[in-house]
Amino acid sequence: MNKLRDISELKQITGELKKSGKTVVFTNGCFDILHVGHIRCLREAKALGDVLIVAVNSDESVAVNKGSRSLFYPQDERVEILESIEYIDYILLFSHKSVDPILKELKPDIHAKGTDYTRRTVPERDTVLSYGGKIAIVGDDKNHSSTQIKNEISNNGKSQPG
């Protein structure tokens, strides 16, 4: 099933879902090297509502936000991998520096972020609160990261102490 939608489609879909009393949950990220931390975060986000929308940073967006950091997987492959996860209902590829413009349009009931944030430090906090949305922190402690995995691969699989 093709879960990838554009913003206008998602705006219509979320409007209909909310009218029918469904809870829309939204999260976002690069999802470059998918690991168990991502899975736990996505699963917990889905458990908060009826529908989970995942916004994925485009290659261009990653370059703007993280500099010349090279991605392991291009955006089309990252989206394809996420489409195979059963608890993701819809995917949006975005090129903005932040998801604030998307949140303002879709107004999801819950904006879920990983445990590297608190409800007070979520960058989109003011936007979410401005339309009456809620913020949820989901997933396990930040014990996994794509950067860490990339570093281990770069070091020929040898784990670094600490």
In angstroms, what CA-CA distances link 98 with 58, 95, 112, 123, 154? 11, 8, 14, 8, 29
Domain boundaries, the chain: 7-152
pLDDT per residue, tens digit, the chain (162 aa), is: 699 999 999 999 999 999 999 999 999 999 988 889 899 999 999 999 999 999 999 998 887 777 656 688 999 999 999 999 999 999 999 998 899 999 999 999 999 999 989 999 999 999 999 999 999 999 876 665 555 545 555 566 555 554
In CATH, the architecture of 7-152 is: 3-Layer(aba) Sandwich (3.40)
Tell me the pTM: 0.86
Q: Residue 102 corresponds to which tokens in the numbers above?
A: 């998307």
- Phi and psi at residue 11, in whole multiples of 5°? -65, -45
CA 83 to chain centre: 13
Cα separation, 23 vs 65, whole angstroms? 30
pLDDT tens sequence across 72-94: 899 999 999 999 999 999 999 99
Cα torsion for 43, 45, 49, 52, to the nearest 10°? -80
Cα separation, 69 vs 90, whole angstroms? 27
